[in-house]
Structure formats: structure tokens, C-alpha cells
Amino acid sequence: MTAEEFNLEFESIAPPLKSYLLRITASVHDAEDIVHDTYLKAVDKLYTFRHESTIKTWLFSIASNLAKDNQKVKKRWTEDVTDICKQEALGNRQFFQEAMQIATTSLHGAFEIKEHIAFCFTCISKSLPLEQQLCIFLKEVYEFKVGEIAVILDLSEAMVKYYLHVGRTKMIQVFDGRCALINKNGVCHQCSELNGIFNPKQKFQEEVMKIEMARDAEIADKEQLFDLRMQILQSLDPFNSGASTLQLHHLEHNRVVMER
């Protein structure tokens, strides 16, 4: 592969790679740095690429190794991250001033419920052991096959399947107990609360019913609801959506709170 061919390939793979790294690190700065370092390392090692996997798999492997190094020195988050960060936000006047400024002036500052669902999943996924978190995103959001994930993470296929099973099970349990959007007994009402703040004239229930996950909550089983969440994540680019600037602001706040 020539340098020109590689640069074209990298340019097309960089956007999903960057969004993957954001969801792993919860940091725009770290995601951008790792994308840059991935490019430099890939250029340096391009002579070793033997087409035994796709260039996308190879690049995700390099990036995942860098992300693991980045995350291993940081604390894993707790399942109640949304509760902790909500309490911190309530006492942070500057946070709300910045959020309202974004919501009223930015082209990407709208509050959208489906975006908050993706944001919430990203935050809570950081309570999983790192290997489980990586496997979940690679398989469920970026649609790599088990064999490809095994190559990316240098694991056996059996271990990938194990991490996927326990990771899915854990996330299903967490959301089944927390998400008031689909579970009337859930404790997390952030979607409705934030909708009231940022969209005071918008009827929350009408907006909720536009989302397939909420529409089907009473008839779908827990596995189906998990898959519907993954469809929402697949459909959204966290760097380039109608709510990206607002959600990135919220994500940075959560990262600072949980990693200090």
C-alpha cells in the first residue's frame, strides 16, 4: 500500500475511529490525540501491514491499544454516574450558564432525547471493566465481527464472546433498574428534566414516543431494548449531530467529576 493510498483509507476511517475513542475515553482531547498517535504509529509500521486483516481492523487495533494505555491509569466510573454528576451540576452555576449559551447560540446545541440516551450509555459503559467496554462498542456500535474483535484486542474468540455476554448482561441490568424512560420504576429521570430545561415548550411524552425504544418498551424484552439503544448509538455521530456541542459539554463535565 502506498502512502497516498493509506492516507485516503485513513481519512475515511478516521471519523468512526474518533467517535469510538470518544466513547471509550469520554474526552474530546484524548480522542483527538489518540487518532493522531494512531496515524503516526500506522505510518511508521505500514511496512508490517500484510493484508491479513482489513486496514480498518488494523487501525482500530492500534487505536484500541493506545486507548487501553490511556484508560488504565484512570479510574473506572460508577453505575450511578448520572446521579453523582447531576448533583455536581446543580451546584455549578457556570456549567448551566455555559449549557444555556450553547443551547441558544450553537447550530449543534439542541437537546434531543435520543442524543441523551446515547450520552447516558457512553457514561454508564465506563463502569464496565475496560475489556468489556471495548468489546461492547466494537461489536454493538461499530459492527465488527467476533473474529475481528479478537484481532483488534489480541484476545481469543472465546474471551470476546465472554466479555460481550457479561458486558451486555451488566448494561441491561443497570438500565432495567435506572432508566425511567422505559421503566416506570426507574430512578433516572434526566431525560424529562433536561427536556424541561432546554425545551420548555416541548411536550416530553410526545417526543419520547417518537423514539422506537420508548414506543416498544412495554412489549419488547430487555435484550431487544438493549439492541434498540445500540441502533441509536449507531445512528449518531457524537461530533457532528444536532446536539453534539451540548452533549460534549455535558460529557466533559462528567469526565471531570468522575476522574478527579
Structure confidence by residue, pLDDT tens digits, 59-102: 999 999 999 999 998 999 999 999 999 999 988 999 999 999 99
For residue 257, CA distances in Å to 28, 76, 99, 162 come to 15, 12, 16, 31
- Collapse the DSSP code of 188 into the 3-class scheme (helix H, G, I; strand E, B; otherwise coil) and give the result: strand
* Residues 107 and 113 sit within 8 Å (Cβ to Cβ): no
* pLDDT tens column, 151-178: 999 999 999 999 999 999 999 999 988 8
The average confidence (pLDDT) of the chain is 93
- CA dist 192 and 181 (Å) reads 8
CATH of domain 1-74: 1.10.1740.10
Please write down the HEC assignment for all residues of 48-91: HCCCCCCHHHHHHHHHHHHHHHHHHCCCCCCCCHHHHHHHHHHC
> What residue type is 72 in one-letter code?
K
Q: Which pTM does this prediction carry?
A: 0.94
Cβ contact 57:39 at 8 Å:
no
CA 26 to chain centre: 8
185, 178 contact by CB (below 8 A): no
Cell 419520547 locates to 208
CB 18 within 8 A of CB 35: yes
| Domain boundaries of the chain, sorted by first residue | 1-74, 75-259
Set of cell numbers at residue 254: 462528567
Q: Is residue 1 pLDDT above 80, yes or no?
A: no
pLDDT digits (tens, 9 = 90+) for 205-259: 888 888 888 888 877 888 999 999 999 999 999 999 999 999 999 999 999 999 9
Q: Quick one: which of 120, 76, 106, 74 has its CA closest to 250? A: 120
Residue 93 CA, distance from chain mean position: 26
CA 112 distance to own-chain centroid: 16
Whether residue 26 contacts residue 43, with contact meaning beta carbons closer than 8 Å, is answered with no
Q: By the 8 A CB rule, do 136 and 171 touch? A: yes
